Amino acid sequence: MKLYYTPGACSLSPHIILRETGLDFSLTKVDLKSKLTENGDDFLKINPKGQVPALMLDNNVILTEGLAVVLYLADQKLDRNLVAPAGSLERYHQIEWLNYIASEIHQNFGVFSPTSAAPESYRSTIRSKLLTKFTYLDSILAKREYIAGDHFTVADAYLFTTCGWTPRINLDLSQLSYLNAYIQKIKQRPHVHDALKTEGII
Ligand SMILES: N[C@@H](CCC(=O)N[C@@H](CS)C(=O)NCC(=O)O)C(=O)O
């Protein structure tokens, strides 16, 4: 399998999950501005949406959308407990978290992208909105070790990835002590550390 990624982008989440599963994979870097891969290939021919993550399966089929990609990967190695088995209520709760992170957290970062023309007043509104949502997540993490329960899942890889974007938009989360302890704990996982190192983030 091959993961098309951009350092520090939302593709970090499936990158972490690939490592956590132990599946064999390679990485190809994408420049999101030029839409070229590090090999000079036109990324729009690989994923016409022009977005990472994109996962190329061994039969050359492309799977996109972070939520679908991490679920697919975790399902390949169910024994790693990165997602609960199909049909279990636990799995639907994990999907509930993935969707919350995608729609309520991730999407709100869009106004801070380099191509966004959003005025500072709007950015400020979104910053406050994000603070409210991260405060809610902090209250969940006050009650349990990981966002969906007592062990690391696909939802943690995604949440951890989005937390990494907050300094870039000047969103101060230092008062959210449970969230901060959680970020440190996830960062110390060997596979997370390796993913961050490979992407040049640490
Ligand atoms: N709906 C997509 C969104 C992916 C996304 O926002 N990717 C960003 C990087 S974090 C990207 O590729 N941005 C470049 C662009 O939209 O042109 C998903 O959930 O995977």
Q: Taking all residues of the chain, what is their mean pLDDT, rounded to a whole number?
A: 98
Q: Which atom of ligand 1 is nearest to the CA of 52?
A: 12
The Cα 14–Cα 32 span in angstroms is: 17
What is the signed CA dihedral for 105, 106, 110, 112, rounded to 10 degrees? 70
Are 95 and 109 part of one and the same domain? yes
pLDDT of residue 101: 98
CATH code for the domain in which residue 126 is found: 1.20.1050.10
Whether 71 and 92 map to the same domain: the answer is no
Domain identity same for 90 and 74? no
SS3 call for 67: helix
Pairing between strand 2-5 and 26-31? parallel
Report the alpha-carbon angle 54-101-134, nearest 5. Answer: 140
Is residue 191 a contact partner of residue 153, using CB atoms and an 8 Å limit? Answer: no
* pLDDT given for residue 13 in this prediction: 99
Residues 91 and 17 in one domain: no
**Are residues 10 and 74 located together in one domain of the fold?**
yes
152 and 73 within one domain: no
Which CATH number fits the domain that encloses residue 28? 3.40.30.10
Cα of 44 to ligand 1 centre, how many Å?
13
Give ligand 1 pocket residues (Cβ under 6 A). 9-10, 32, 50-53, 65-67, 102
Number of domains in the chain: 2
pLDDT of residue 114: 87
The structure tokens listed for 23 are: 């599946």
Q: Compute the distance from residue 129 Cα to the ligand 1 centre, in Å.
A: 20
One-letter amino acid at 165 equals: W
Distance 10 CA to ligand 1 centre (A): 7
Do 61 and 114 lie in one domain? The reply is no
Task: Quote the CA–CA distance of 194 and 202 in Å, as a whole number.
Answer: 9
Check residue 94 and give its pLDDT.
Answer: 98
Cβ atoms of residues 137 and 155 within 8 Å: no
- Domain identity same for 115 and 133: yes
Q: Domain range for residue 87?
A: 83-189
Residues 11 and 102 in one domain: no
Phi and psi based region of residue 6 (left: phi greater than 0; alpha: psi -120 to 50; beta: remaining): beta
Contact at 8 Å (CB) between 3 and 55? yes
Tell me which residues of the chain have a pLDDT lower than 70.
none
Q: Distances in Å between the alpha carbon of 202 and those of 70, 94, 193?
A: 23, 28, 8
Q: Is 87 in the same domain as 18?
A: no
The atom of ligand 1 lying closest to the CA of 35 is 17
Both 177 and 90 in a single domain? yes
**Are residues 74 and 108 part of one domain?**
no
Q: What is the pLDDT of residues 21-44, one digit of tens each?
A: 999 999 999 999 999 999 999 999
Residue 60's identity, in one-letter code, is N
The best mutation among 10, 12, 47, 64 to test binding of ligand 1, ranked by most ligand atoms within 8 Å of the C-beta, falls on: 10
